[in-house]
A and B are shown apart, each in its own frame.
Chain A
């Protein structure tokens, strides 16, 4: 019984992570410019990674595993925004942003 329950939880978590990865891939293809693609590249993965590493931790519940899993998620959560910021600034500075899909651009009109 409890073994079956564990299987179900495991399956749900892994499938969630897989769907998130697929969504990231599709987003990277479908979104129109660099900045939008960055959204697809940073966000769904964090949740996917959380789901899958949570699954690993549930299957093997020891102090070492849990701390390592937390470290992995924290690092990913801290480093992804930094990389995204660097790439987005490079994109904006080199005018690779599609202005036609922007409703407002308050960076372009800022006071100097």
Chain B
């Protein structure tokens, strides 16, 4: 059934979560001591065996620079989002107008999908109403939307958020897919620009 090698990879996949549990235990005690480490390891073992969850594919890749960038941007966005909602609640001329927007993400990883959902719910804007795992689509409720352009801007914001997360933590496959998609976009844009150029040229020729 499971070869030793595969068993090793699943074990390695669990290690960060295990260490996280031990760290959390020490944090709750607020002190570092060998007794805490020991009981932490014991409890982490009990938790991860007793409350078994399907393993998350973490991808085991972490780009420190992009992670830092992502966290900094996240902190900034949290403050901005809080201030926006607070200002909206306090503003005397508030007229309710919301939207539920579907955002198709480019990643296929549950981990990235979850992370994007959580990040977009604490930054300006949205609450996750529903998730379509198969199509990796988030359905988000957005506050204070009046015009269609705002919906598009919001969608681009979420995609940018996903881009940052994939650059920071996504698997190599995801980064590759992202590059491909944006490459397609670019070539499409170039094509459109060329068409536009040709049309203008023709127009100029016609007018002279």
Q: Which residues of A contact B (CB under 8 A)?
A: 19-20, 23-24, 26-27, 30-33, 35-36, 38-40, 42-48, 50, 64, 67-68, 71, 77-78, 80-82, 84-85, 88-89, 92, 101-108, 110
Contact yes or no, B85 A44, CB < 8 A:
yes
Contact yes or no, B97 A101, CB < 8 A:
yes
- Selected from B82, B118, B139, B143, the residue in CB contact (under 8 A) with A44 is B82
Q: List 29 A-B contacts (CB under 8 A).
A: A19-B86, A24-B89, A27-B89, A33-B96, A35-B127, A38-B127, A43-B122, A44-B85, A44-B86, A46-B122, A47-B86, A48-B82, A64-B30, A80-B121, A81-B117, A85-B117, A85-B128, A88-B129, A89-B129, A102-B98, A103-B97, A103-B98, A103-B99, A103-B147, A103-B151, A104-B99, A104-B101, A107-B102, A110-B132
Contact yes or no, A78 B85, CB < 8 A:
no
Contact yes or no, A47 B79, CB < 8 A:
yes
Contact yes or no, B121 A42, CB < 8 A:
yes
A30-B122 CB under 8 A given contacts A38-B127, A50-B78: no
B38 within 8 A of A: no
Collect the chain B residues with CB atoms within 8 Å of residue A92's CB.
129-130
- Selected from A36, A43, A68, A107, the residue in CB contact (under 8 A) with B98 is A36
The answer for the CA separation of A103 and B100 in the assembled complex, in Å, is 8
Collect the chain A residues with CB atoms within 8 Å of residue B35's CB.
none
B90 within 8 A of A: yes
B172 within 8 A of A: no
- Among residues of B, the one whose C-beta sits closest to the C-beta of A103 is B99
Query: What 7 A-B pairs are tightest by C-beta distance, nearest first?
Result: A47-B82, A27-B89, A81-B121, A23-B86, A106-B102, A64-B30, A43-B85
Collect the chain A residues with CB atoms within 8 Å of residue B88's CB.
27
A107-B83 CB under 8 A given contacts A39-B127, A77-B122: no
| CB proximity of B47 to chain A, nearest CB, Å | 16
Contact yes or no, A64 B31, CB < 8 A:
yes
| CB proximity of B125 to chain A, nearest CB, Å | 8
B94 within 8 A of A: yes
| CB proximity of B173 to chain A, nearest CB, Å | 26
Contact yes or no, A47 B96, CB < 8 A:
no
Contact yes or no, B130 A89, CB < 8 A:
yes
Max chain A CB contacts within 10 Å: which of B128, B129, B141? B141
Collect the chain A residues with CB atoms within 8 Å of residue B101's CB.
104, 106
| CB proximity of B76 to chain A, nearest CB, Å | 11
Max chain A CB contacts within 10 Å: which of B27, B86, B132, B147? B86
The answer for the CA separation of A30 and B148 in the assembled complex, in Å, is 24
Contact yes or no, B30 A68, CB < 8 A:
yes
